[in-house]
Structure formats: structure tokens, C-alpha cells
């Protein structure tokens, strides 16, 4: 008999299977965590781009979160694509009603293909209403620029953006460096007191579709299992790095997916 830890993803569906809900559930599985989903939008998407999107109604999103929380229970949760202000507010309401803990927010705004996944201007609702309810936020560089309202060119700019996000109510921040130039890639974790730097060599690959989704899902899975924040981020980064290195070569003509069936070693 087995007791499984449980994680919920609140995110959009990627028909191509490399990002969104699909990447999150594959990642939860790799961490041996029971995965549940609250789908916020359905995207018609492949490795090249997004053709169309249908948003799910805010009520249906609220109900999905409440139904799984009430019956099954959620040890940790990750939030991805939220499309617009009404959806953001429904998720805020559900988080409060269910008292969800260990919520990791990946503030998804634009897909790797350049398509918008959050209505322009609605990021202010994400910042004002949702950010203070979350345990950790994991912006990439363009997302952090928009949230913090500054341009990020240097390491010092990254630190300044982190302080600005902290002043906006973020408790813990992982600023991902994937969009900074150079062969060495550094993500910075701020845990409310200290900075921790995680560096690795950049893998020369175009199969990086869903790296952000996978990282936040992996961190949520580790938090669900009771890991502390530092170790959860470390495990998550190692997972993404292996998943990029092992990416299959025959899936799609654009930014292909990673390989999620990685053995996680604690």
C-alpha cells in the first residue's frame, strides 16, 4: 500500500504536449506525485506556434480547484497560463476559499513562439491580486521586466527587479536567467532574506518548449513531498537540465519538447 503526495496544476492545455497542463502532469508523474489539473484555457498549439485559444469560464475554473481540494487534498500547487483578469480573480478566490499552501506561480505571459498567453495589460491584476497569495513566483526575464517595470540587462538589474517584486508582496522569488545572453546560465533565488545563485552551462538546443512550465511543476512536486525551498529549486533545475539534454529529436519542426521521463534522484 502506498501513500502519494498530491499536486495540482492550474494552467492551460497545450495540444502539442510539451508545455502547460501536459508538461506539468508528466513532471508530477516523474516525481512520483499524484497529479491533478484545473484547466484555464485550451490552446491549439504545436512546436511552431499557437493558432487559437478558448478560455474556460471563471466559474468552471473555480469549481475544478474547489472539487479536488475538498475531496482529494492538495499538498502543493503550480499556476501557469491564466489568460485574463477574470480568470486571475477566480483563481484568487479559489485559493482563498481552499486555503491552498505552497503555491508556485509561473507568471506565464508569452509563449516561446511569441504568442500572447495573457491579455496585454492584465498582468497588473496578476501582480496586485495573485502575487501576494503565492509562496514562490518564477518569472523569466521579460516577465520580471514587465512586473517590476524596469529593463534587465545585467546581474545588478536582476537583483533590483527582485527587490521591486519583493516590495510588491512576493515572498520568495526565482528569477530565471534563461533569456540572458551567454553560455553560462544563472537563476537567482531570493528567499526573503538571502540570495542563492544556481548556475549551469547553457545546452545548445532548440528543444526548450515548456522549460518554464516544467521547472515550476518540478518545484511544486518537490514542495508537495516536503522538500525545503532551496532543495526544491535545486531538484527542479536538475530535472529541467536533464530533460533538455535528453530531449527527443523527432518531435515537431519548431521548439520541440523536452524528455519528461527522467529519473529523479534525491
Ligand X SMILES: Nc1ncnc2c1ncn2[C@@H]1O[C@H](COP(=O)(O)OP(=O)(O)OP(=O)(O)O)[C@@H](O)[C@H]1O
Ligand Y SMILES: Cc1ncc(CO)c(N)n1
* Residue 206 is a catalytic residue: no
Which grid coordinates belong to 52? 487559437
- Does residue 113 contact residue 206 with C-beta atoms inside 8 Å? no
| 158: nearest Cα among 148, 169, 172 | 148
Our finding on whether 185 is near ligand X (CB under 6 A) is yes
Which of the stretches 40-48, 171-179, 223-231, 257-265 binds ligand X when contact is defined by CB under 6 A? 171-179
Query: Which one of ligand X, ligand Y, none is in contact with 215 (Cβ closer than 5 to 8 A by kind)?
Result: ligand X
> % helix / strand / coil in the chain, to the nearest 5?
40, 25, 40
Binding part of the chain for ligand Y, among 135-143, 163-171, 205-213, 239-247 by CB under 6 A, reads 205-213
Spatial CA neighbour of 68 closest among 58, 77, 79:
77
Site residues for ligand Y, 87-146, by CB under 6 A, read 108, 111-112, 117
Closest CA to 8 of 209, 223, 173, 239: 223
Q: Which does 178 bind (CB under 5 to 8 A by kind): ligand Y, ligand X, none?
A: ligand X
162: partner contacted, choices ligand X, ligand Y, none (Cβ within 5-8 A by kind): none
Residue 212 known to be catalytic: yes
Pattern 147-166, ligand Y, x by CB under 6 A:
--------------------
Please tell me the distance from the alpha carbon of residue 89 to that of residue 93, in angstroms, as a whole number.
Answer: 6
Q: Which single residue is written with the C-alpha cell 518545484?
A: 219
Contact with ligand X (CB under 6 A) among 202, 230, 238, 254: 202
Q: Is 210 in the site for ligand X (CB under 6 A)?
A: yes
Grid cell at residue 169: 508582496
- Three-class secondary structure of residue 96 per DSSP: helix
Positions annotated as catalytic residues are 176, 208, 210-213
Residues that bind ligand X (CB under 6 A): 19, 112, 140, 176-179, 185, 187, 200, 202-203, 205, 208, 210-213, 215, 237, 240-241, 244
Amino acid at each position: 500500500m502506498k501513500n502519494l503526495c498530491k499536486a495540482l496544476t492550474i494552467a492551460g492545455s497545450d495540444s502539442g504536449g510539451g508545455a502547460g497542463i501536459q508538461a506539468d502532469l508528466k513532471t508530477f508523474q516523474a516525481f512520483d506525485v499524484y497529479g491533478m489539473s484545473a484547466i484555464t484555457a485550451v490552446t491549439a498549439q504545436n512546436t511552431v506556434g499557437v493558432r487559437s485559444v478558448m478560455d474556460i469560464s471563471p466559474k468552471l475554473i473555480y469549481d475544478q480547484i474547489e472539487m479536488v481540494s475538498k475531496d482529494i487534498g492538495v499538498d502543493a500547487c503550480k499556476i501557469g497560463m491564466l489568460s485574463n483578469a477574470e480568470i486571475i480573480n477566480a483563481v484568487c478566490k479559489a485559493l482563498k476559499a481552499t486555503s491552498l499552501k505552497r503555491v508556485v506561480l509561473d507568471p506565464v505571459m508569452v509563449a516561446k513562439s511569441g504568442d500572447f498567453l495573457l491579455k496585454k495589460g492584465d498582468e497588473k491584476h496578476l501582480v496586485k491580486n495573485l502575487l501576494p497569495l503565492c509562496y514562490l513566483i518564477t518569472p523569466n526575464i521579460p516577465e520580471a521586466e514587465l512586473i517590476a517595470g524596469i529593463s534587465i540587462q545585467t546581474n545588478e538589474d536582476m537583483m533590483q527587479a527582485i527587490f521591486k517584486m519583493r516590495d510588491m508582496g512576493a515572498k520568495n522569488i526565482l528569477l530565471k536567467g534563461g533569456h540572458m545572453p551567454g553560455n553560462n546560465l544563472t537563476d537567482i533565488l531570493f528567499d526573503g532574506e538571502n540570495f542563492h545563485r544556481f548556475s549551469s552551462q547553457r545546452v545548445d538546443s532548440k528543444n526548450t518548449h515548456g522549460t518554464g512550465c516544467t521547472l515550476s511543476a518540478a518545484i511544486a512536486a518537490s514542495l508537495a513531498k516536503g522538500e525545503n525551498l532551496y532543495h526544491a529549486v535545486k531538484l527542479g533545475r536538475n530535472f529541467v537540465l536533464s530533460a533538455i539534454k535528453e530531449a527527443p529529436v523527432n518531435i515537431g519542426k519548431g521548439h520541440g519538447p523536452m524528455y519528461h521521463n527522467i529519473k529523479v534522484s534525491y
